[in-house]
């Protein structure tokens, strides 16, 4: 299926590209030894940043509505733990590791990586669960702008990206997931997650095809 994107009715959602997730000096980068026994490799997320940048640049140039999400861990009851459910076997060890707990509000770790920093006017959604829709005003923001299609890039593919894709689908948005600029700590889960998206949620396309579709439609209208 060809990738088709209308910049006037599409939004790019950059999911959770925060320092604690994707910077070598972030919490999970510093404590990779705690998760590596489970086959999880935080460096796979760090290495994926250059694949997200072309999509973000193309979206900005074409005037897509750009959304950045941040998952925040704070003292709100039931707030999460969600992020640590990704690595349940090491949950206690991670929380007790030296250094600040991950994703605390208003810390460097919770900030979006500088290579992908939001520009003025881009929308930021702070969330406390996997889905960017749960307990946030994201749906309202998309509806007000006439958005019909959401394009997802970011991390973690089989957690926050997948949950956000599901919730977008049940809210009747068309969903496009970038197959190679959504990022996983466990590479063995990337392809199965894309299969789920293709079967019951929406479409998956390569970063290259998404960028081409954005540029083609923009050029055609210009």
13/90: higher pLDDT:
13
Asked whether the whole model's pTM tops 0.85, one would answer: yes
Which residues, 6 or more positions from 7, have their beta carbon under 8 angstroms from its beta carbon? 59, 62, 63, 64, 214, 217, 218, 221
CA 61 and chain centroid, separation: 20
Residues 136-179 pLDDT 10s: 999 999 999 999 999 999 999 999 999 999 999 999 999 999 99
Fill in the DSSP letter of residue 145.
T
Say what the pLDDT of residue 75 is.
Answer: 46
How is domain 10-221 classified at the CATH fold level? Answer: Rossmann fold (3.40.50)
pLDDT band at 190 (very low <50, low <70, confident <90, very high): very high
Domain positions in the chain: 10-221
CB 154 within 8 A of CB 183: yes
What whole-number distance in Å separates Cα of residue 77 and Cα of residue 207? 38
Of 183, 176, 217, 220, the C-alpha closest to 1 is 176
pLDDT band at 116 (very low <50, low <70, confident <90, very high): very high
Count of all residues that appear for the chain in the document: 222
Residues 37-91 pLDDT 10s: 556 677 778 888 999 999 999 999 999 999 999 988 764 444 444 444 544 444 4
Say what the pLDDT of residue 77 is.
Answer: 41
CB 156 within 8 A of CB 100: no
Cβ neighbours of 14 (radius 10 Å):
25
């Amino acid at each position: 299926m060809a990738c088709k994107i209308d910049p006037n009715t599409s939004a790019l959602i950059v999911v959770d590209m925060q320092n604690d997730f994707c910077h070598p000096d972030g919490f999970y980068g510093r404590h990779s030894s705690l998760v590596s026994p489970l086959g999880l490799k935080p460096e796979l997320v760090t290495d994926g940043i250059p694949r997200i940048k072309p999509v973000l640049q193309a979206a900005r140039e074409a005037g897509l509505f750009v959304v950045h999400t941040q998952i925040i861990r704070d003292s709100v009851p039931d707030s999460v733990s969600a992020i640590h459910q990704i690595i349940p076997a090491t949950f206690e060890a991670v929380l007790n590791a030296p250094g600040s707990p991950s994703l605390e509000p208003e810390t460097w770790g919770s900030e979006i990586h500088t290579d992908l920093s939001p520009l003025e006017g881009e929308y930021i959604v702070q969330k406390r669960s996997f889905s960017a829709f749960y307990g946030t005003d994201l749906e309202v923001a998309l509806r007000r702008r006439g958005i019909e299609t959401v394009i997802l890039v970011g991390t973690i593919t089989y957690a926050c990206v997948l949950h956000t894709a599901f919730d977008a689908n049940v809210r009747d948005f068309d969903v496009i997931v970038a197959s190679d600029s959504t990022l996983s700590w466990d590479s063995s889960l990337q392809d199965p997650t894309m299969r789920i998206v293709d079967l019951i949620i929406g479409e998956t396309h390569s970063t290259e095809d998404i960028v081409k579709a954005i540029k083609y439609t923009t050029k055609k209208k210009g």
